Homo-oligomer: A and B are copies of this chain.
Amino acid sequence: MNNYKKDFNAFLENFKKHVSKSGLKNSIQKDYILKILYFAEEHLSVEQIANDVKVKYKIDIGIATVYRSMKFFEELNIVESLDVGDGIKRYELNLSLHHDHLVCTSCSKIIEFTDEIIEEQQLKVASDNNFDLKDHVMTIYGICEDCQ
């Protein structure tokens, strides 16, 4: 078993323990949704997630379940959503440190980045305005190298 996979299993077990402790119930559907998100190379829409789960893991999953799960994951801060501008929400697992996005307006490619200076400056802006900062979204739109 490679590290990547071991990491996912650890993550999943941890998640399930957390759910159990809250008195809620686990389900195969949520497990597979998380697995799809974990190994996804891009930000996925609800439709894509449902489809991927059906194709890869051969289980029945309704679109409503995916919507409900994403809402659940977002409340737990396990998942973050992003609207590229087409009115469709796309999701990614929120495993790593906070990061922001570069979106190519031509091919819709999404590149993640972090920038310490920007992060710091955001804290400053929030405090200057007496805001208790909770989160932020920063998306840069442009044309990627390949599309230029």
Q: A residues touching B (Cβ–Cβ < 8 Å)? A: 83, 102, 104-105, 111, 113, 115, 117-118, 121-122, 124-126, 128-145, 148
Contacts and interface: CB of A to CB of B under 8 A. Distances in A.
Contacts of A126: 102, 140, 142
A140 B122 contact: yes
Contacts of A144: 129-131
A44 to B, nearest CB: 18
How many of these chains are in the complex? 2
Given A104-B131, A129-B102, A131-B102, A139 B136 contact: yes
B141 A129 contact: no
Contacts of A104: 131
